Amino acid sequence: MTPVIEMQGIHRIFESEAGLAHILHGIDFRVEAGEFVAIIGPSGSGKSTLMNILGCLDTPTAGTYRLSGLNVAELTDDELAEVRAHEIGFVFQSFNLLPRLSVLENVMLPLAYTDCPRHERERRAVHALHAVALDVGHFDHRVNELSGGQMQRVAIARALVNDPAIILADEPTGNLDSHTGALVMQTFHRLKDAGKTIVLITHDAHVAAEADRMVTIRDGRIYHGDAPYDEVPEVVMAAADTRQKEATR
């Protein structure tokens, strides 16, 4: 079967006036349909950079990324927009909610780019908000009137509203107390049971342990298996550095 996500040798180098920043170093990463994978790593290790590429919001400097068998580099802007609108639900680390719109309007936003009629958009948004257990009383509140945990759940509902096959979530429990965090994780388990493919980024080992599989990212390099990021053996690091030097020689 074709994997949903297949990355080979992904590098990301940012260019700025300050110079070049080589953030991702030859990432190989595969996710099969219906898998729930956690990516764990310390702050600054490149998690969001990787997630933006996975979500087709950014393009790698080198390497190949196939999404549902399609080489992303070969898609036109319109095709990419189509993939983002229908295939991917993205939960941003910073929520990216529009503060002046209501909860319901925020959740309906991704459907604005589809031909879905307004009453259907509203019905789906309500459904998605129920899925994250947000209180109905909040649906017509502006999001800047919500708590961080409530905003987080609105951001997840927005990612679900287009019923995507793939859900990419960047620190979805990062700002939550443990009770709300557990509620959010229940949502991900239900989505997994419904057959969704989930990639979840976290720096919390307990959250990562709930996934089917865990990969570690450290200094822009990926390690498969369940070694917590602060226990990646130095030999692994050294071997990866040697491989990297050989690759760039």
Query: Which tokens go with 94?
Result: 């910073």
From candidates 26, 38, 40, 41, binder to ligand ATP by CB under 6 A = 41
Considering only 45-53, 108-116, 151-159, 189-197, which stretch makes contact with ligand ATP by CB under 6 A?
45-53
Distance of closest approach, residue 29 Cβ to Mg ion, in angstroms: 16
Please, are residues 159 and 91 in contact by the beta-carbon 8 Å criterion?
Answer: yes
CB of 182 to ligand ATP, least distance (A): 21
For ligand ATP, which is the closer residue by CB, 49 or 180? 49
Cα 188 to Cα 197: distance, rounded to the nearest angstrom: 10
CB of 200 to Mg ion, least distance (A): 12
Nearer to ligand ATP, 149 or 220 (CB): 220
- Which H/E stretch holds residue 28? strand 19-31
User: What length does the chain have?
Assistant: 249
The residue within the footprint of Mg ion, chosen from 6, 25, 31, 48 (CB under 5 A), is 48
Contacts of 240 (CB under 8 A, 6+ apart): 221, 223
- CA-CA-CA-CA torsion sign (189, 33, 52, 19): positive
Q: How far apart are the first and last CA of the chain?
A: 35
- The Cα–Cα gap between 235 and 72 comes to 34
Q: Per CB under 6 A, does 45 bind ligand ATP?
A: yes
Per CB under 6 A, 48 contacts ligand ATP: yes
Q: Is 47 in the site for ligand ATP (CB under 6 A)?
A: yes
Task: Look up residue 82 and give its amino acid.
Answer: E
Based on the shown chain and the rule CB under 6 A, indicate whether residue 13 belongs to the binding site for ligand ATP: no
**Residue 203 interacts with ligand ATP (CB under 6 A)?**
yes
Among 8, 20, 44, 224, binds ligand ATP (CB under 6 A): 44
- Smaller CB distance to ligand ATP: residue 27 or 103? 27
Q: Which is nearer to Mg ion, 16 or 43 (CB)?
A: 43
Binding-site size for Mg ion (CB under 5 A) equals 3
* Options 4, 5, 10, 23; binder of ligand ATP; rule CB under 6 A: 23
Sole residue written with tokens 């443990």: 178
Question: Applying CB under 5 A, which residues contact Mg ion?
Answer: 47-48, 93
Question: Applying CB under 6 A, which residues contact ligand ATP?
Answer: 14, 16, 21, 23, 41, 43-49, 93, 203
